[in-house]
Amino acid sequence: MTGSTGMHIDVLTLFPAYFTGLLDVSLLGRAVDSGLLRVDIHDLRTWTTDPHRTADDMPYGGGAGMVLKPEPFFAAVEALYGAVESRPRTVVLTPRGDLLDQARVRDLATSERLLLLCGRYEGIDERVHEALATDEISIGDYVLAGGEAAAAVVIEAVTRLLPGVMGNDRSAMDESHADGLLEYPQYTRPASYRGMDVPAILRSGDHGRVAAWRTRQSVERTRRVRPDLYARWERASGGSAAPRLPEDGDEGSDDAAD
């Protein structure tokens, strides 16, 4: 059961077993248990019509590998939603799709219902892309054996943003990518471990200086590790939103650990 703030996701796959366990543990398990998330995994072969339950065929024009046939996808959509036109937002997971980022995750999380289509082999018949997909999403510039791992990524990233799912809603706001920057370093006890000390400023109790330190760490880490994100962040803020950051050494001279 989904509540008014919940999400219902259908997944079409040749390998339903891929999702075994995924929906039982941790954040996804809790979201399902609390009724905030419902995920139905559907075996694409349910909608094949021959005795061998054939879901793929040779590509027109020749070439290596097999292509997933269109009929099971269309039949599944009609069985699940009544008509192709009644389908919800429909995401095809494919290496040729738009690169998934947190903005797209936020956008997907506003849908009450999603349909995820997982490809395999050389891909899915183009008519499925044309007639059924509202979104084509890649999770990175590498090729997986199929869309299942990508579907799992989408489900987890979206579920974290559903209202009520994260115990502490602030942690979804503070993390990497939430504001276009990578997250600052995090520490917990002990203050000193194997000669490595927690920066003293984090134990200073001075919330203003802690916030400034974290911002500077985020900005510097993003500039170093992800210049592409850094450039976008700089453009978006027009330079003006960049906080006045303490200079190097401002927070570092105190002894790190007690």
3-state secondary structure 194-222: CCEECCHHHHCCCHHHHHHHHHHHHHHHH
- Alpha-carbon separation of residue 164 from 73, 102, 109, 110, 179 (angstroms): 33, 19, 13, 14, 21
Residue 200 burial class via C-beta count within 10 angstroms: exposed 0-12, middle 13-18, buried 19 and up = middle
67 binds ligand ADE (CB under 6 A): no
| Minimum CB distance to ligand ADE smaller for 119 or for 199 | 119
- In the complex, minimum distance from the CB of residue 33 to ligand ADE, in angstroms, rounded to a whole number: 28
Strand, coil or helix: what is 90?
Answer: strand
65 binds ligand ADE (CB under 6 A): no
161 binds ligand ADE (CB under 6 A): no
- In the complex, minimum distance from the CB of residue 227 to ligand ADE, in angstroms, rounded to a whole number: 22
Residue 100 · residue 153 · CB < 8 Å: yes
Q: Which two tokens stand for residue 51?
A: 């005795």
Q: x/- binding map, residues 113-142, to ligand ADE, per CB under 6 A? A: ------x------------------xxx-x
Q: Which two tokens stand for residue 94?
A: 């494919």
60 binds ligand ADE (CB under 6 A): no
In which residue are the tokens 């199929």 written?
A: 146
| Minimum CB distance to ligand ADE smaller for 6 or for 146 | 146
Q: Which of 18, 67, 77, 94 binds ligand ADE (CB under 6 A)?
A: 94
182 binds ligand ADE (CB under 6 A): no
- In the complex, minimum distance from the CB of residue 153 to ligand ADE, in angstroms, rounded to a whole number: 8
- In the complex, minimum distance from the CB of residue 180 to ligand ADE, in angstroms, rounded to a whole number: 22
Name the segment binding ligand ADE (CB under 6 A); options: 92-100, 179-187, 220-228, 248-256: 92-100
140's CB contacts (< 8 A; 6+ apart) are: 99, 100
In which residue are the tokens 């803020």 written?
A: 237
- In the complex, minimum distance from the CB of residue 23 to ligand ADE, in angstroms, rounded to a whole number: 19
Q: Give the interface size with ligand ADE as a residue count (CB under 6 A).
A: 13
Q: Which of 95, 106, 176, 221 binds ligand ADE (CB under 6 A)?
A: 95
Q: Give the integer Cα–Cα distance in Å for 62 and 44.
A: 24
Q: Give the integer Cα–Cα distance in Å for 100 and 34.
A: 27
* Contact residues: ligand ADE, CB under 6 A: 93-95, 119, 138-140, 142-144, 146-147, 150
